[in-house]
Amino acid sequence: MDSPPSVPVSGVGIREGQVRVWDPLIRIFHWSLVGGFAVAYITADEWDKAHETVGYIVAGLIAFRLIWGVVGSRHARFSDFLYRPSVVLSFIKESLAMKAKRYIGHNPAGGAMVIALLLAIIGISATGYMMTMDMFWGAEWVEDLHELLVNGTLVLIVLHVGGVIVASFEHKENLVRSMFTGLKRR
């Protein structure tokens, strides 16, 4: 089966029936954060300088995302995907029953996950920085909190990937590919 010809519907390389959802900055941010978190995790106990450097890069990525969540493209803005908790819970229930509404941007659970991940990584960055300060040097509770936040973030990542798989299956679309191309079907 041949793919439909490229038609400039709303941009270069967008095929008929597709819409650009994720702008290039969001996609670069997303995959840079994935890589940065992975490198920071791997180097945590083995390579302090690399771990710390990547930690600062990740903190910078989060600062960018907070700004882009206010002034960025439509689907990057927090106002596009923040929902009341009751809406999020209802969406999750419908999704588990494979009856959830399809969203072009983040669905309510995905939006809640963005916020949860941002908050967790802000906490990781803050406690990581605190461990470099004289004031908190050797404070075991700071290191324990840092580790707890990292482990909690790993749980969030597993839930995030699981949600992407469920939504991709439920709505018959490859959400991972859309985070590379920026495109989804209308």
- Phi-psi region at 11: left, alpha or beta (left = phi > 0; alpha = psi -120 to 50): left
Confidence (pLDDT) at 48: 85
Between 147 and 17, the higher pLDDT residue: 147
Domain boundaries, the chain: 23-180
Classify burial at 179, counting beta carbons within 10 Å of its beta carbon; exposed 0-12, middle 13-18, buried 19 or more: middle
Residue 27 has pLDDT above 70, yes or no: yes
> DSSP characters for 43-102?
HTTT-HHHHHHHHHHHHHHHHHHHHHHHHS-GGGSGGGT---HHHHHHHHHHHHTT-PPP
**Percent of the chain scoring above 90 in pLDDT:** 71
In the predicted model, what is the mean pLDDT of the chain? 89
What is the CATH code for 23-180?
Answer: 1.20.950
Confidence band for 146, pLDDT divided at 50, 70 and 90: very high
- Looking from the CA of 142 toward its CB, the CA atoms found within 13 Å total 15
